[in-house]
Structure formats: structure tokens, C-alpha cells
Amino acid sequence: MLESLVITLREGVEAALVVGIALGYLRKTGRLAAARTLYLGLAAGVLASLVLGAFLHRLNVTELGDAYEGGLMLVASVFVATMVWWMWRTGKHMKAEIEARLHGFAASGKGAAGFGLFLFVFLMVFREGIETVLFLAAVSLQTTSALLEFTGAAVGLFLAVGFGVAFFKGSLRVNLPRFFRITTIVLFAISIQLLVTGVHELSEAGVLPSSPQEMRLVGPVVNNDLLFIVLVIAVCMFLVAAERVDPAKRAQVVDVASMTAPQRRKILAAQRRQRFWKLSATGLALSAIVLISAEMVYAHVSKAADVRVPVATINGELRIPVAQLKDHNLHHYAVSVDGRQAHLIAILDATDTVRAALDACAICGAQGYYKRGETVICRNCGAAIYVPTIGHGGGCNPIPFDPPYRVDGDSLVISEAALEAAAGHFR
């Protein structure tokens, strides 16, 4: 349940936060007329996610291709960077623009600029939405554990949307220079993260050239995306929580005794609303940080728990009893061949089919893999491996045996020739 909650929370929080920042910026700069374009992009992103998700699920597509994900991330990165540039460019002359009531990029939301705002929101929502829809659609509600997974995913999505709304409402009274500085940093960081992750996905798909050296640079960013999201949420929480009313405004609202009853009620109601949204944003941010941090600890424990079981060949073959794999966990083995060691992994997939390969990949080298939840993860770059593809090779998938392994009765059988060829990957 925790893992599914964090998945949808992670997928939703970036999109909700970016939309909240964009909407808050439009409102604070007097350009709320463009909010209609923003809402259209939001609605189109949600609708497109539902339609494409339902279509792919109907075709029994269990995961999106790396090339699709990587390409969409790069495009989204460009649009986030464009948003940052627009905020920086207009922010330098914001006061003059507002005083002169100029109607530029966001004044009408029309034309090429308005279309850019639409695409910016659409891509951010669609990128996260399609994965969330597929995840929820793939969860069967016929068992208690599946129902818990669905509930966790729904709660994560609710927290993500709630945080975006609370951030927008709670940051309305933050002064423009502080809002501008912090949100620009947040958007720039999101753009860099999207860029690096997109490069990783395209490298895994073979669209871009890759090597273990490149993946050692890209890997830490991809592998620590939860830490990145925690830092982004913390920065945005600080922006809202550290908001203070300046002395001039405080002097205007403190003396409520001299005001008429309607004026006093109006001011006190506004103060209560502001406190509510400020506390809501802070509370939701703290909840998200705690939940994501718990998932990080769980992932760290899962990553560190693997132990390689020593095995040996007999009569030119390595035989591993299939009964050892009945728990559906990822099993690690080490075998010595001609004084060299080879590492291998084996697992039963959801259909009880044996999947086995080297504990290494052509891109990241011999860093190996571990299992987190129902997914196998690359230790170096954090790539998620679909279990039924283990043994097929390609991208960050484990390197297959050559010649291939076979299942003989109740044993997984790997030839000594395949192990000798594999030893070269573990120098």
C-alpha cells in the first residue's frame, strides 16, 4: 500500500505543483485572464491520460516504452525551462507592466504565447497522468491486497492534488519577489530532473548512445528521484510557512476595534482563510515528506538485503532447484568458473515462469539488481525492469545467457559454456 501511495504521490506532485506555481504567478501579476488557457491545458491533459490509458490497458500494454517516456520528458523539460525563462524575463519589468496594464503573453491567453501556456500545462499533466491511469487500471480489486494497493494509490493522488491546491492558496499573500525567486529555482530544478531522466530513458531504449561511465553520472539523479521530490516539497513548504505580513500591512489590520462590524468580520474571515490554507499546505507537505522518506528507507533496506548464494557446476551444468524461487523474490547466485566469478539472478514471474539472467547489464555494467515491491530495479541508474522481460536483453535489462538457460523438470539449468562467457562481464 505504501509503495502504490508513493508512486501516485510522486507522479502527481510535480504536475500539481507546477500548475499551482503557474496559476499563482498569473494571479499575483494581475494576468488571471490566462487562467482559462491553463485550465484548458489541465483538462486536456487529464482527458488525454484517461483516453490513452484506457486504450493501452485494453490492449494489455503493461508498461510504456522507454523511448516514449524519454521523449515526453525531454519535451516537458523544454516547456518547464520556457516557463522559467518567461517568468525571469517578465519579472524584471513586472511593476512597469502592471502599472501600464500591458496585455502580453498571459493577458489574453491567445495566440502563439497562449498555445505555449496550454502545451506547458498539458504536457506536465499528461506525462504524469498516463502513468497514473495505467497503474490504477492495472490494479485488480478482487483481493484484499489489491484493494489496499488501489486505496494507497488513490490516497497518494489525493495528497498530490491537495498539496497543489493548498500551495496555490497558501502562497497568494507571499510577496512577489520571494515567490518569484523560490518558484523559479523549483521550476529550474524540475526542468533539470526531467532532462536527466529523459536522457536516461532514451539511452535505455537505445535511441541515444550510452556507457557505464555516462550512467554513473546520470544514475544518481534517476536513482534518487524521491530525495529530489522531498527537497522540492520542502522548499515550497518553506515558501508558504515563512510568509510574514509586512509591518505596514500589520498596522492596517491590527486595529480592528475602530472598524465597523462588517469590515471587522471581513478582515477576520480573510485571516482565518489564510491561516487555514497556510496550515493545510504545511501539513500536506509534511505528510508527503514523511511518506516519501519512509519509502526511501524501505527501498534502501530492500537494496541492501541481497546476499549471493554460492553455487557450483556439476558435470558441465549448473542446476538450481525451481523450488528455491517459489517465494517470487529475486535470488542472487555466485558461481566460480576457471578461477573467475559470475553473478546471476533468477526469479519466478506472476505466471510461475522461470526468468534468469546475469546480474549485470550492457549499459551499467556489473552493478546488479534488487527487487522492490513487484519490480526489479537496477542498482546503478534506478531503471525499473519488467520481470517477464528478464532474459531478453536490451536497454538496462539483465544480460541474457548465451547459450540460453532451460528448465529441466524441477531445475533451472545453465550450461558451463554460458557461465564461462558470462564471467567476462565481472572482471
Tell me the per-residue pLDDT of 373-402, one tens digit each, with 9 for 90 and over.
778 888 877 777 888 889 887 777 899 998
C-alpha cell at position 384: 525499473
CA separation for the pair 402, 255 (Å, rounded): 82
Lowest mean pLDDT among 194-198, 247-251, 330-334: 247-251
C-alpha cell at position 208: 541515444
Q: What is the pTM of this model?
A: 0.62
CA separation for the pair 318, 427 (Å, rounded): 20
Chain-wide mean pLDDT for the chain?
76
pLDDT at 67 over 70: no
Q: How confident is the model at residue 63 (pLDDT cuts 50, 70, 90)?
A: very low
> Number of H helices and number of E strands within the chain?
13, 10
Q: How confident is the model at residue 158 (pLDDT cuts 50, 70, 90)?
A: confident
CA neighbor of 298 nearest in space, from 244, 234, 377: 377
C-alpha cell at position 191: 526542468
Q: How confident is the model at residue 103 (pLDDT cuts 50, 70, 90)?
A: very low
Over range 269-296, report the average pLDDT.
85
Strand 308-311: give its sheet, edge to edge: 308-311, 331-337, 340-348, 354-358
C-alpha cell at position 58: 485494453
pLDDT at 81 over 80: no
- Residues 297-331 pLDDT 10s: 776 666 666 789 999 989 889 999 999 999 989 99
| Domains observed in the chain | 2-303 (no CATH), 308-426 (2.102.10.10)
Q: Which residues pair with 311 in a beta bridge?
A: 335
CB 133 within 8 A of CB 11: no
Over range 94-119, report the average pLDDT.
52
CB 311 within 8 A of CB 320: yes
pLDDT at 193 over 80: no
The predicted structure's pLDDT at residue 400:
92
CB 334 within 8 A of CB 341: yes
- Residues 234-258 pLDDT 10s: 888 888 887 654 444 444 445 556 6
The predicted structure's pLDDT at residue 202:
77
